[in-house]
Chains A and B, each alone.
Chain A
Amino acid sequence: DAKTTQPPSMDCAEGRAANLPCNHSTISGNEYVYWYRQIHSQGPQYIIHGLKNNETNEMASLIITEDRKSSTLILPHATLRDTAVYYCIVDNDYKLSFGAGTTVTVRA
C-alpha cells in the first residue's frame, strides 16, 4: 500500500527553486516524513526529515502542512547535479518503503 503520492516527473530550470509536492493523507501521529533522492545507479541519499514542524538544512527545506496530510520539499537553487529521483517516505519504522518517487530533471 502506497503511503505517499508524488507526481511522476517534473522539470526545473537551473538556479530556480524546485518545489516537490507529496501527499500523505493517511499519515499517523508518530510517523515522520522523510525525503531521499537517488542519482542514477547510486544508493539513496538522505535529504531531510520532519514530524510536524518545518525543517531546513543545507540541502533543502521541508514544509509540512498543519494537518500533516501533505508536504513540500524545496530545493532553493536547483543545479544540474540535483537531477535525480526524489522519494517522499512516511514511516515510523526503519524499514523505509520507497514509492515511485518524482523524477526531477534540472535543465540549463
Chain B
Amino acid sequence: GAVVSQHPSWVICKSGTSVKIECRSLDFQATTMFWYRQFPKQSLMLMATSNEGSKATYEQGVEKDKFLINHASLTLSTLTVTSAHPEDSSFYICSARDPIFPETNEKLFFGSGTQLSVL
C-alpha cells in the first residue's frame, strides 16, 4: 500500500520554542491530510484537516494560531506547534487520504507518529 512518512519520530524541546512536524505522501498525491493528537492511554483526536493550497480546517477547541498547518504541495503537510508548553506534549499522527478509494482498500494512510516532549 501507499506510504505516509512522518518526521521526526520523536522530538524534545524547551518550553516556549516551536516545533515543526512533517508528513509526506511518498508515492501518491494527497490533496487532503489529517492531523491527530493522542495523549497517553487515550484515543486519537482529530485536530485539523489540511487541504493543499488552502487554509486548514480546525476541529472545535483546537487553536489555529497554536497549531499552524501548511499544505503547500500535494505531497507535504506540516504541523508547527508554536510556543510549545509541557501540556502540548503528546503523540501527533498524520494521515493522508487515498485519492482513488474505494478502488483501493485503504481509505486513509497513517504516518508512524511523532512523540513530542516539551520540557
Contact = CB atoms under 8 A, between A and B. Distances in A.
19 contacts: A34-B107, A41-B91, A41-B115, A43-B95, A43-B110, A44-B44, A44-B110, A45-B110, A46-B1, A46-B110, A48-B105, A49-B105, A57-B105, A94-B32, A94-B34, A94-B97, A94-B107, A97-B46, A98-B43
Contacts of A34: 107
Interface of A: 32, 34, 36, 38, 41-46, 48-49, 57, 87, 94-101
By secondary structure, the B interface counts as strand
B16 to A, nearest CB: 26
Contacts, number: 54
Contacts of A101: 43
B32 A43 contact: no
Give the size range of B's interface with the partner.
Answer: 20 to 34
